[in-house]
Amino acid sequence: MKEYKIAVIPGDGIGVDITREAIKVMTKVSEKYGTKLIFTELKAGGCAIDEFGEPLPKHTLDVCKDSDAVLLGAVGGPKWDNLEGQQRPEKALMGLRGGLGLYANLRPAKVYDVLKGASPLKNEIIDEGVDLLVVRELTGGIYFGDRGRCDDNGIEAAYDTEKYNVSEIKKIAHVAFKSAMKRRKKVTSVDKSNILESSRLWRSVVEEVSKEYPEVELNHLYVDNTAMQLVRKPSQFDVILTSNLFGDILSDEASMVTGSIGMLASSSLREDSFGMYEPIHGSAPDIAGKDLANPLAQILSSAMLFEYSLGMSEAARDIEEAVQNVLDKGYRTGDIFTEGTKKVGTAQMGKLVLDEL
Ligand code: NAD
């Protein structure tokens, strides 16, 4: 029997509630396909500060490095909000991304037919369908570039630098084109090449890489236009490829188009099959431990784990279908509840997905 090592970091708040449900789902699906998952639960974030005095203990990072994939809940909460920068729970996320070399962030944004009402956009826009994937470069660009404070002719000033090299752009472009090959075969590369030199390099490298994927249609958009198009006609997008800074902003905008934060998964990947999978929402301290959290974003993150890290696409489809069926039958957690549907808690929602499997 094939075995995989999965590092599990529930983190803080509802991270604990939703990860519990995802593990049950993963166990059931893996059994169906004759594989064994060996889960190791680890601490990071606020709970690690409480127990070990630091947000990302070395032991946690070491076990993650020795695993096939990482499933992460969420970190943070009001208890740790007043700590110094290096000691804040979010440092664990940066430490994991950097320490594990995760340079590609994939965020699907999909509007389920039965949840159309949750989108803040008009019906006629949403009716055309929204099913896109933002591929964001995660370890380069302005978030990691040269920065500092300086004197600007006697006036205090500060600067940050956007820099990308050819190899960084190539790597992330390949991730986007490969993802598009599994989807509707369209990549929109987003830049600001009318102004920025780094964007001009970005555009030319993406053009070069696209020659290796003749089946994939490539177009380029400026970031300001993309921000408009995402709310004007989101159905035009399949894969959006972009830099760290632009991706940070556009992926949040794309998720807002769906209107349901408790439904959206994400993955952070590197060149081999290793990846870290997490919902896009935070630790929601307001509802933590109350059986109110929607576990579906975490369950859908586990589907991405099967797809990208374990190469088990059929298992991923099973999970996605199970989630779809539960929604079609009218079950909703509080965050996506509407009149006429059936309200359930975290554990019940997890069980409904299990039953569908
Ligand atoms: P949040 O995403 O935790 O919550 C925003 C709102 O959405 C809240 O009302 C919450 O109850 C609701 N919500 C979120 N996920 C939900 C779910 N699965 N089911 C039902 N409702 C859900 O964002 P926030 O309130 O800005 O942040 C809370 C804490 O989480 C902060 O400490 C923040 O730093 C941290 N955070 C962590 C991550 C991460 O770990 N990746 C990301 C964002 C925020």
- Give the model's pLDDT for residue 82: 86
Domains, in order of start, for the chain:
1-102+263-357 (3.40.718.10), 120-258 (3.40.718.10)
Whole-prediction pTM: 0.90
To test ligand 1's pocket by mutation, which of 56, 281, 346, 353 has the most ligand atoms within 8 angstroms of CB? Answer: 281
Which residues, other chains included, contact 178 with Cβ-Cβ below 8 Å and sequence gap of 6+? 213
- Give the model's pLDDT for residue 256: 87
Cα distances from 259 to residues 42, 195, 273, in angstroms, run 31, 32, 30
Q: Which member of 103, 110, 192, 213 is catalytic?
A: 192
Cβ–ligand 1 contact at 107 (below 6 Å): no
CA-based nearest residue to 293, from 331, 333, 261: 333
pLDDT in tens, 41-54: 999 999 999 999 99
CA-based nearest residue to 206, from 240, 252, 247: 240
Cβ–ligand 1 contact at 22 (below 6 Å): no
SS3 sequence of 109-139: EECCHHHHHHCCCCHHHHCCCCEEEEEEECC
Higher pLDDT residue, 97 or 85?
A: 97
160 labelled catalytic: no
pLDDT in tens, 154-169: 999 999 999 999 999 9
Q: Which two tokens stand for residue 244?
A: 């760290």
Cβ–ligand 1 contact at 106 (below 6 Å): no
Does pLDDT of 84 surpass 80?
Answer: no
Q: Which two tokens stand for residue 219?
A: 């177009």
* Rounded Cα gap, residues 154 and 152, in angstroms: 5
